[in-house]
Amino acid sequence: MLPVLGEVELARLSPSMVRSWCLVLRERFVTTGDDAYRMLRAILNTAVTDGLIAKNPCQVRGAGRTRSAERPVASVAEVAAAVETVPERYRLAILLPAWCQLRRGEVLGLQRRDVDLLHDTIRIDRAVVRPMDGSTVVGPPKTSAGSRVLAVPANVLPDLRAHLERFVEARADARLFTSEAGRPMVPVTLNRVWQQARRAIGRGDLHDHDLRHSGLTWAAASGAPVAELMRRGGHANPVAALRYRHATEDRDRAIADALASLATGEVARLGNRHRAGSAHAGVRSRALGSRKHPLSCGKGWHPQRGANQIRGGLASGFARSLTIQAAFELPEPELPSPRARWKAQQEARRVP
């Protein structure tokens, strides 16, 4: 923004100038261009409010509304394989984004004092960013919710302890990740390491940020609610966290296999069970009729009651057939019996 528009007076800033700047920037960096356009629009909206200009010149249709394509998700096995392909100095830098859902800048900003091995936690208080001018800046995390304390999964703790012993100096402010020369690691170094790892496992479509994306997707698939995803990922609003609650290919395949089981055998078993239950239902209906059951109308089997029986059997059978392994297991729904519903209706009528 500053190199092109920084020296232009507000009164001379026209929609054509903004449009030209925006289009040139978006040709090179789509996401960065949209972010810069939104910032400029917000600044000029404030100028309009303050009476410095009459109208906001940000009138580029469609600018600032980029919707990123769905990012790919790495599997646990792929991340483990990628870790094995990089030197030991860099392995923890791949594990932390995936298993602790840290941003790249948050990983590079970690210091020894941020690690609590007594409680197995890490504290995120700073991040390393590299602006387009090539400089390295250490500042606060990306969002107001970025400062947080996270529990480290047990499978990462051995690598964390080994990394602290071998590659981190003893002083409290020592960086967790440094180059072989002992200088603080910069984002371009970590990006280069990940590019080598992704080629080694045959996943050239995975960017370094996709490690964090994959970890948050795993957390969502394990059943974590939106509030916990927001805290884990350091999100300030739920919109960013909701994007990780999409269906994964593994879960989609599990659901498809469960549906296929209905066609191959479960439907036949359900049909046999209902046919066998029809005669039994007749015996029960006579007994219910003799007791003047409210749903039997004194005339044996009631069609609504029979429909409820079939519906309940189908629902419970369908739930059992969708028993998906591990975290994706679906609970069997609890359906009230016809008599329980009748009692509830009677109680409702008594209430004035």
254 in the same domain as 230: no
Q: Which of 218, 242, 266 is the last residue of a domain?
A: 242
66 within domain boundaries = no
Distance (Å, whole) CA 141 – CA 102 = 10
Quick check: is 172 in a domain?
Answer: yes
Reply yes or no on whether the pLDDT at 233 is more than 60.
Answer: yes
- List phi, psi (to 5°) of 138: -105, 120
Whether residue 173 is found in the same domain as residue 211 = yes
Q: Largest alpha-carbon pair distance within the chain?
A: 94
Higher pLDDT, 133 or 109: 109
Instruction: Examine the pLDDT at 238 and tell me if it is beyond 70.
Output: yes
Highest mean pLDDT among 138-142, 188-192, 311-315, 319-323: 188-192
Give 251's pLDDT tier (boundaries 50, 70, 90). Answer: low
Looking at the 3D structure of the chain, how many domains does it have?
A: 3
pLDDT of 114 reads 95
pLDDT, averaged across the chain: 76
Top pLDDT among 344 and 205 is at 205
pLDDT value of position 221: 81
Do 93 and 237 sit in the same domain of this protein? yes
In the listed set 200, 216, 242, which residue is the last one of a domain according to the structure?
A: 242
| Residue 7 domain flag | yes
pLDDT band at 290 (very low <50, low <70, confident <90, very high): very low
**Last-in-domain residue among 192, 208, 242:** 242
* pLDDT reported for residue 293: 38
Q: Is residue 315 part of a domain?
A: yes
Interval 132-151: pLDDT, tens: 666 778 888 888 888 999 99
Tell me how far apart the alpha carbons of residues 287 and 65 are, in angstroms, rounded to a whole number: 67
Distance (Å, whole) CA 149 – CA 60: 41
Q: Both 211 and 259 in a single domain?
A: no
User: For the chain, what percent of residues have pLDDT higher than 90?
Assistant: 30
Same domain, 205 and 262: no
Same domain membership, residue 256 and residue 221: no
**23 and 111 assigned to the same domain:** no
Residue 319's pLDDT is: 42
More confident residue, 222 or 53: 53
Q: Sorting pLDDT into bands at 50, 70 and 90, what band is 181?
A: confident
pTM: 0.59
CATH of the domain at 142: 1.10.443.10
Residue 94: pLDDT band by 50, 70, 90 thresholds? very high
Q: Supply the pLDDT for residue 303.
A: 42
Tell me, yes or no, whether 54 lies in a domain. Answer: no
Q: What is the domain range of residue 138?
A: 76-242
State the DSSP H helix or E strand holding residue 151, giving kind and residue range, or none if neither.
strand 148-151
Count of C-beta atoms within a 10 Å radius of residue 337? 13
Query: Higher pLDDT residue, 309 or 121?
Result: 121
- Together in a domain, 107 and 237: yes
Q: Under the phi-then-psi rule, with left for phi > 0, alpha for psi from -120 to 50, and beta for the rest, what region is 255?
A: alpha
Indicate whether 102 and 233 sit together in one domain: yes
Q: Do 265 and 323 fall within a single domain?
A: yes
Q: What is the pLDDT of residue 34?
A: 82
The residues pairing with 137 across neighbouring beta strands, listed in sequence order, are: 129
Q: Which residue has the higher pLDDT, 285 or 63?
A: 63
H helices of the chain, in order, are 2-5, 15-28, 30-49, 76-84, 88-99, 104-108, 157-167, 187-200, 209-221, 226-233, 238-242, 249-261, 267-290, 303-321, 338-350
pLDDT at 332 over 70: no
Residues serving a catalytic function are 103, 209, 212, 235, 244
37 and 129 belong to one structural domain: no
Q: Is residue 63 part of a domain?
A: no
pLDDT of amino acid 294 = 37
| Residues 104 and 189 both lie in one domain | yes
